[in-house]
Structure 1
Amino acid sequence: MNTKNNPHHIVIVGGGAGGAELAKKLGDSVGKNKQAIVTLVDAKLTHIWKPLLHEIAAGTLNSSIEAMEYIDHAHRHHYNFQLGYVDHVDPQAKEISIAPTLDDDEEETIPRRSLKYDTLILAVGSLTKHFNTKGVVEYCKFLDTLEEANNFQSYLMRKMLRAQNRTQELRPGQLHVAIVGAGATGIELAAELHGATKKLIAFGFDKLEASRDIKITIIEASPSILPALPKRLSDAALEELRKLNIEVMTDERVVEAKKEGLITHTGKFIPAETMVWAAGIKAPNFLTTIDGLETNAINQLLVKTTLQTTNDENIFAFGDCASCPLIGEEGFVPPRAQAAHQQASLLVKTMKYRLAGKDNLPEYRYVDYGSLVNLGHYSTVGNLMGNLMGRWSGSMSVEGFVARMVYKSLYRMHLIALHGYTREILMTIANWITNRGLKPRLKLH
């Protein structure tokens, strides 16, 4: 039993959308009043909302402005922050192991260390699954992390600079971007890249012509794009992509990536020197190595509706790394940001129950508030309320300006969950004053 001299230690691994929100809420409640010690562990010093990565990759959003610094956030909200990648969990010893942190020269900055817990909450998110497709790891870009998004933006800028200052004709596929996967990430990235390249040409890249030299192709193995959305909205998104001269290939499964481009199962070759893999997800591999815990085929931890892992009541998991059964229907909670947000709110209540010694923990019931896909400043499509409204009257489809405003509000809600209303309003005003008319609408370095 925990006492004031030996308080309950809640360790959260992963500072994504759900983990960062949970750390803040627990810190401001049970951490502030010393009911428990709350520690967040993450491999990075900063947090960025993952749905923004495609904008950072295109250069239309500056990550240094949008990123939240964990050390500062932890200080403000009464929790501890530990930098490092967790690579081992020992349920018997109730201990996690954090790998050494290395600098750019591969020298050790922080040594390996261990951390004891009373309650462990895993929120390590997901990574892109490449299905062991030949050549993908070697030749394709991924956008799972802020570092990968920033590296992609720098890479693309170098490609454009070389093309602008070339002394000979462009090679086939030199400025062709091929995106594998027509889910939200692939669609949003394609639209954002289209807008970014048009801005570059407007800034003086006069040797390039968008319609002639720059090509964007989306390749999807399924019969249609955006399968999570109703067909009418999927068709609306497809029409918008065609207006932007973005090629969409459906029913084409990529079987190999080469340096010069992609090969599909029908034998088609798509010449492209820039290839992005955005098809499928899986949880981090280390979850499968935790003794006694159950995982599924994509490495997700199996959890009960209380979000406790099936074989260990002291280990919880939520968000993309957890497979949680739906209540009242078949299937599992989809790996979406709104689910992680809802689960983080539930776990605040759950932790208070545990600290009070209550055994009857609350259960998580997924509420679908809908889906939105943002096609840059061109359009936004989606449906609101999802199954919440669908039980009575069906979901409400939205497009254009209304959908765009709702999409922006989702990000603002995340920022409010992290910082509170007052601080977020002040930050929004400060960013508006700083950026209005003073900085280009595209990152150029």
Structure 2
Amino acid sequence: MSKNGRPDRIVVVGGGAGGLQLVRALGERFGKEADVILVDRSPTHVWKPLFHEVATGALDADLDEVSYRYHGKHWGYHYVRGTLEDIDRKNHEIILEPLVDEEGHKISDQERLRYDYLVLALGSVANDFNTPGVRENCLFLDSRAQADRFREHLFDACASASRTMIAQPGMEKPVRVTVIGAGATGVELSAELYNTAIELGNFGLEKFGANCMQVTLVEAAPRILAPLPEFMAEDAHTVLQRLGVDIKTNTMVVEAGEGFIKTKDGQTIESDIQLWAAGVKAPDFLSKVEGLEVARSNQIIVKPTLQSTTDDRIFAMGDCCSCKLPEAERPVPPRAQAAHQMADTVFENIVRLRKGEPLKDFLIAIMARCFLLAGLPLLAI
């Protein structure tokens, strides 16, 4: 119970992998004695590491998604649709942008929600590093809507190529896809594109198959999957080459135009579809929130307890936080498994805060991760 006699209000902003797990635990524990609220711009949750499958049509997101409203009713939390615009730390309120529909018509005005404890689980967005033309000429996979948009472009390009090859027998018309960034998303997407080409040929498109897909994977680092063990990167590299992916490492993109990218070493790579997956950052507005300490990538710098360094009532977790543990050389990497483990720590620390007990520090246990490339499982430790 807060000092003014009202039930404590715990607000979690962001219903991604960690945020959804956290509100479920908070709602189950405090749903009858505290007001637990989840704020997210989307009404449903789709696990972000699967966006590459949504983008290629391998996964039907309508069947896989979770409705926050119904999930909250079952687990004891309330869902509020909205996009975080700012935080009024003095008055313990978050400020949500006005809601608009798909046509840009206003649904509701700017809204304020009070909080006693605030958890920021906003995830990350693609970092274009201010590369000219990227925002205007590349697709992204930061959201379900962007994954749907990629799929529409992909299917349209495949249908166009099929019709051209039917109309002009003997002509080869591959669909050219350039993927910039060879992290997990870029690597998995590149492999899945060939499965999509095979399935499209099997179920509807004439004269279309894996040989009609031409994928170029561009990476600025010396190898793909740079954050992961080298043996895994080598295995993945072999699988991608076997599929037909043209892998260009040590290749930095300096410009993106309509239907092409230019690289630092002077190459021009033409394509029908360009997908940017080269690095992530926290949402830009976090760097403008008064009184929060943020890193260069807009991530909120947190203490080992996952509280912000300037406000003990504000926690941050997952991709939007920068958590450098004692004796660690670098902050905890932005991975789904880290977000899940952070959710456990934030939950326990909110329980302890309400009881007036000492908080616990976050400790990460890196677990094995399995990638599936063209049906072949690759294990990373």
1:159, 1:175 within 8 Å by CA — same for their partners in 2? Answer: yes
| Alpha-carbon distance between aligned partners in 2 of 1:136 and 1:61, rounded to the nearest angstrom | 27
| Cα gap change, 1:300 to 1:170, in 2 (>3 Å) | farther
| Alpha-carbon distance between aligned partners in 2 of 1:199 and 1:18, rounded to the nearest angstrom | 33
2:18, 2:342 within 8 Å by CA — same for their partners in 1? Answer: yes
Supply the AA of the counterpart residue of 1:336.
R
Q: Which residue of 1 aligns with 2:92?
A: 94
Residue 5 of structure 1: how far off its partner (Å) = 4.4
Supply the AA of the counterpart residue of 1:153.
R
| Alpha-carbon distance between aligned partners in 1 of 2:147 and 2:339, rounded to the nearest angstrom | 22
2:179, 2:190 within 8 Å by CA — same for their partners in 1? Answer: yes
Deviates more, 1:334-343 or 1:102-111: 102-111
What SS class does the counterpart of residue 226 from structure 1 fall into?
Answer: coil
Q: Which runs of 5 or more structure 1 residues have no equivalent in the other structure?
A: 385-445
What SS class does the counterpart of residue 106 from structure 1 fall into?
Answer: coil
Deviates more, 1:245-254 or 1:165-174: 165-174
TM-score by length of 1: 0.82
Q: Please give the root-mean-square deviation of Cα atoms over the aligned residues, in Å.
A: 1.8
| Alpha-carbon distance between aligned partners in 1 of 2:172 and 2:140, rounded to the nearest angstrom | 23
Residue 174 of structure 1: how far off its partner (Å) = 6.5
What SS class does the counterpart of residue 305 from structure 1 fall into?
Answer: coil
Residue 198 of structure 1: how far off its partner (Å) = 1.1
| Alpha-carbon distance between aligned partners in 2 of 1:247 and 1:18, rounded to the nearest angstrom | 35
Supply the AA of the counterpart residue of 2:221.
S
Deviations 1:169-196 (A, max 9, x none): 9999871000001111000001111100
Residue 304 of structure 1: how far off its partner (Å) = 0.2
Supply the AA of the counterpart residue of 1:188.
E
What SS class does the counterpart of residue 276 from structure 1 fall into?
Answer: strand
| Alpha-carbon distance between aligned partners in 2 of 1:288 and 1:170, rounded to the nearest angstrom | 55
What SS class does the counterpart of residue 382 from structure 1 fall into?
Answer: strand
Do residues 380 (structure 1) and 377 (structure 2) align? yes
Do residues 141 (structure 1) and 114 (structure 2) align? no
| Alpha-carbon distance between aligned partners in 2 of 1:315 and 1:49, rounded to the nearest angstrom | 25
| Alpha-carbon distance between aligned partners in 2 of 1:88 and 1:13, rounded to the nearest angstrom | 12
Residue 84 of structure 1: how far off its partner (Å) = 0.6
1:108 to 106, 109, 112: 106
1:127, 1:282 within 8 Å by CA — same for their partners in 2? Answer: yes
Pairing of 1:15-414 with structure 2 (within 5 A):
15-31=15-31, 33-34=32-33, 36-166=34-164, 167=167, 175-208=175-208, 210-211=210-211, 213-358=212-357, 360-377=358-375, 379-384=376-381
| Alpha-carbon distance between aligned partners in 2 of 1:121 and 1:376, rounded to the nearest angstrom | 38
Moved over 6 A (4+): 169-174
Supply the AA of the counterpart residue of 2:328.
E
| Alpha-carbon distance between aligned partners in 2 of 1:152 and 1:53, rounded to the nearest angstrom | 10
| Alpha-carbon distance between aligned partners in 2 of 1:169 and 1:54, rounded to the nearest angstrom | 33
1:21, 1:341 within 8 Å by CA — same for their partners in 2? Answer: yes
Residue 328 of structure 1: how far off its partner (Å) = 3.5
Residue 146 of structure 1: how far off its partner (Å) = 0.5
What SS class does the counterpart of residue 308 from structure 1 fall into?
Answer: coil
- Give me the identity figure in percent: 38
What SS class does the counterpart of residue 312 from structure 2 fall into?
Answer: strand
What SS class does the counterpart of residue 363 from structure 2 fall into?
Answer: coil
Supply the AA of the counterpart residue of 2:380.
N
Residue 254 of structure 1: how far off its partner (Å) = 0.9
| Alpha-carbon distance between aligned partners in 2 of 1:56 and 1:193, rounded to the nearest angstrom | 11
| Cα gap change, 1:100 to 1:172, in 2 (>3 Å) | farther
Supply the AA of the counterpart residue of 1:262.
I
| Alpha-carbon distance between aligned partners in 1 of 2:349 and 2:30, rounded to the nearest angstrom | 12
Q: Which runs of 5 or more structure 2 residues have no equivalent in the other structure?
A: none
Residue 376 of structure 1: how far off its partner (Å) = 4.0
Q: Which residue of 2 aligns with 1:10?
A: 10
1:174, 1:272 within 8 Å by CA — same for their partners in 2? Answer: no
Supply the AA of the counterpart residue of 1:186.
G
